[in-house]
Amino acid sequence: MKISIKILSLAVLVSTVNIVYGQLQGMGTLNEPIDISPDFASYTNTYYLANELKSFDPASASGTVEYKRYEYSTRQAFNNMLSSLTAVNANEFPGIEYEASPNLPFSIQFVSPRAFRIVMNSGPDNTMDEPSLMLVDGKAPVDNSWKYSAVEGGHKYASAFGSIVIKTNPWKVLVYDQNGRELTSTNINADNMGKTYTPVMPFGYVRRASDYSRSFSASLNLAPGEKIFGLGESFTNFDKRGTRVVLFADDANGVQNETMYKPIPFYMSSRGYGVFMHTSTPITCDFGKYFSNVQQLMIGDEALDLFFFIGEPKEILDEYTDLTGKPTMPPLWSFGFWMSRITYFSEEDGRNVAKKLRENKIPSDVIHFDTGWFETDWRCDYQFSESRFDDPEQMIKDFRKDGFETCLWQLPYFVPKNSLFNEIVEKGLHVKSFKGNVPYEDAVLDFSNPETVEWYQQKIAGLLKLGVGAIKVDFGEAAPINGIYASGRTGFYEHNLYPLRYNKAVAEITKEITGETIIWARSTWAGSQRYPLHWGGDAASTNSAMAATLRGGLSIGLSGFSFWSHDIGGFVESASEDLYSRWTPFGMLSSHTRSHGEPPTEPWEYSDSFMDGFRNAANLRYQLMPYIYAQSKHSAENGLPMMRALFIEYPNDPGAWLVDDAYLFGQDILVAPLFENVTSRNVYLPGEGKWIDYQTGKTYNAGWNKIEAGKIPVIMLVRDGAAIPHAKLAQSTKFIDWSNIELRVFGSSKAKAYVCLPSDQVLHQIEISGGKVISNPLEGTTKLKITK
């Protein structure tokens, strides 16, 4: 009897558990991220190591580099099998037809006084001059400010901000700041041979024995204490030093593993330089994980194209986004609260939610319909369900009158039962298999095909013309790696580029129809920041996932993205009141904010005290809208993130480089979320001045402080000398009164603030002294009230 009861209890337990699935790495399954690092440590492959600068023209900064052949050989010692890169002779026949030590193109190209480019080839390449979708103008600009001088054993180019030296024999490139401090240098064979027992792959390329394809290893030296940041929305260690990072767009199935929805081939170093790996192939970066003083950029491309940027973090981000593009300012309404769940299924659902938001005085601007607005859930056919939506166009109009925009979910994959599947296949709008068929069960749209883009944009345009404000650009990480694309390339080059093409297609048709640049996207590649905005994927509803979400937000911000959001409370399951209440102010103090995930997500579905707290946090956001809007404008113009790592504003504070559990919201507000059920926590305050608690008014000195959260469960401080613009509370950004703005001065009687009116989108800096505005550039338009 007891046994039977136990079995029954287990059966009941199993039947109530929500089983979820995710990708298991290292199993060789469909669309698993490609890690190319094993190709650089294989006994069967041939390695060509950069050896000597054989020719060089100082006027064009171009020439040729000789590469010597190596293979891994073995030696047994003390019962260990050891390996070493050993020089070898050519193995081709006839020997006179192939170069044993090829001399291949090498050039330095100057992009700006702070930026230069290293371009190298492992063989003939007729694609180097093609326009690049990753670069905002299709190609890099040319700068003529770098001055040449001959130096002992090589060549030097210098600008006002730094210099590079190219050594002849052995070939080596060294990068310096304006004070002559070495920032980094190429790691060459001479740096390692006879100096370490560890076999290190220096700067060179691999030729695979399996198919004779080639890929570069751009190996650079790491300095003691050097830290590495960026590389996209990475949820693992904030500082990538000592880690290996695979850059391959992937449905990460959460925010606590090493794969990424948003890999970006760009990073910055604490030593004052940044690197952009200009390619769309899979990349594996080893930042001293294998060998502590070498960063190995293993790039799938057979050509190497590296951009280097010199400066402080702000300057590096400005340079990188000058090259790959700065975001257009999203519409004002997008900065309001987005209400969603997975999913609202009907017009009645949507209208009820809009009504409840207004009845409960929860400020909000967007109602989002996720996967359920079609006749069949998840089956994307771009048509509202006729059985559940009586008049979607009128619904959207009614929403807009009440201060709501409408957002709709969709995806670029079409199941065989989708009514559009046959049309897509018959017209050849999909990515093709080797034989020209559909490579998956689904038809995946090929955005490298102009006909596909036109067909797709017509579908999206139909929704936008109904009055839809934004399209959710979901998925995009599963472009077939072995697929054949209309561009003439395989998925090895198109997989990572797919999110950028996808983002671009939706953003451009939205701009054409509505006049606004706005999407809500999950996947990215370099250049996607031009098409805001993006959110952090499917977080678990746990404390650790909340902390990982912040790390992802900080990292994507250090990869050129100004705007970013996340699902408040997590996505995978309904959040507990405790977690949801602490995640809410974290979400409200992000550039964009949305509640979304497994129901319930609506605040009235929880206790009255929870809803009061949720309302307080939402009210705070809407009162701060003048600050949020002005800081967003400043961020967009300068390539800065709204969710900002502390060291962006305080690069000379060593402690600021260590913080991954707090952030600057714009330049003046510091936010430290509560990642567990506590009312206080330790917070590092950067710089040398004072910080004022926004909620309590208490003043704290820079450095470590134990701080109590206020009524809203978050720690929020304002920099001494900042004036924070506020507006009177409104239930929608549509109803905000921009003719009266309150400037709250924190600390010093002398303060500054940015103000930007949505009507003209011009950024104004307001100076205050002694409780008075020194000059009001908004005179006649907006009254400024000073409070302390």
Give whole-number Cα distances, 684 to 70, 548, 619, 672, in Å: 49, 19, 27, 9
Tell me what pLDDT residue 271 has: 98
Which residues share a beta bridge with 665?
A: 643, 669
Whether 360 and 611 have beta carbons less than 8 Å apart is answered as yes
Q: What is the mean pLDDT of residues 418-428?
A: 98
pLDDT digits (tens, 9 = 90+) for 263-274: 999 999 999 999
pLDDT digits (tens, 9 = 90+) for 48-71: 999 999 999 999 999 999 999 999
- The pLDDT of residue 16 is above 80: no
Tell me what pLDDT residue 15 has: 40
Strands 263-269 and 273-277: antiparallel
- The pLDDT of residue 788 is above 90: no
Tell me what pLDDT residue 230 has: 98
- The pLDDT of residue 2 is above 80: no
| Selected catalytic residue, list 286, 365, 474, 649 | 474
Tell me what pLDDT residue 87 has: 95
Task: State the angle between helix axes of 625-638 and 313-324 in degrees (0 to 180), rounded to the nearest 10.
Answer: 70
**CA–CA distance, 168 with 101 (Å, rounded to integer):** 16
Q: Classify residue 430 by its DSSP letter.
A: B
Tell me what pLDDT residue 124 has: 87
- Name the nearest CA neighbour of 198 among 80, 35, 281: 80
Within 13 Å of residue 505, how many CA atoms lie on the same side as its CB? 28
- The pLDDT of residue 13 is above 70: no
- The pLDDT of residue 425 is above 80: yes
Which single residue is written with the structure tokens 């990072």?
245
Bond into 679 cis (ω within 30): no
Within 13 Å of residue 139, how many CA atoms lie on the same side as its CB? 10
- Interior angle at CA 133, CA 128 and CA 136, nearest 5: 105
Predicted confidence band at 18 (pLDDT cuts at 50, 70, 90)? low
- Per the annotation, the verdict on 477 as an active-site residue is yes
pLDDT digits (tens, 9 = 90+) for 309-347: 999 999 999 999 999 999 999 999 999 999 999 999 999
Mean pLDDT over the full length of the chain:
95
- Per the annotation, the verdict on 474 as an active-site residue is yes
pLDDT digits (tens, 9 = 90+) for 357-393: 999 999 999 999 999 999 999 999 999 999 999 999 9
Tell me what pLDDT residue 104 has: 97
**CA–CA distance, 661 with 227 (Å, rounded to integer):** 17
| Selected catalytic residue, list 39, 305, 315, 538 | 538
Q: What is the mean pLDDT of residues 532-556?
A: 97
Predicted confidence band at 12 (pLDDT cuts at 50, 70, 90)? very low
Burial 217-255 (b: 16+ CB within 10 A, else e): bbbbbbeeebbbbbbbbbbbbbebbebbbbbbbbbbbbb
| Selected catalytic residue, list 477, 516, 649, 720 | 477
User: Could you tell me where the DSSP H helices lie in 178-228?
Assistant: 189-192
Tell me what pLDDT residue 552 has: 98
Whether 18 and 27 have beta carbons less than 8 Å apart is answered as no
Q: What is the mean pLDDT of residues 516-540?
A: 97
Q: What is the mean pLDDT of residues 418-429?
A: 98
Reported in sequence order, the residue ranges of 319-380 that DSSP labels E, i.e. its strands, are 337-339, 366-369
- The pLDDT of residue 610 is above 50: yes
Tell me what pLDDT residue 7 has: 33
- Interior angle at CA 738, CA 737 and CA 744, nearest 5: 100
- φ, ψ at 72 (rounded to 5°): -80, 130
| First vs last C-alpha separation in the chain | 72
Tell me what pLDDT residue 24 has: 81
For the record, the structure tokens of 88 come out as 């070898």
Question: Among the listed ranges 12-16, 247-251, 558-562, 736-740, which one has the minimum average pLDDT value?
Answer: 12-16
**CA–CA distance, 538 with 255 (Å, rounded to integer):** 7
Q: What is the mean pLDDT of residues 507-531?
A: 98
Whole-model pTM: value is 0.96
- Name the nearest CA neighbour of 462 among 366, 396, 371, 535: 396
Tell me what pLDDT residue 95 has: 87
pLDDT digits (tens, 9 = 90+) for 253-307: 999 999 999 999 999 999 999 999 999 999 999 999 999 999 999 999 999 999 9
- Name the nearest CA neighbour of 353 among 594, 601, 140, 623: 601
Whether 445 and 483 have beta carbons less than 8 Å apart is answered as no
- Per the annotation, the verdict on 538 as an active-site residue is yes
Give whole-number Cα distances, 312 to 269, 273, 699, in Å: 9, 8, 29
- The pLDDT of residue 97 is above 60: yes
Tell me what pLDDT residue 762 has: 96
pLDDT digits (tens, 9 = 90+) for 180-196: 999 999 999 999 888 88
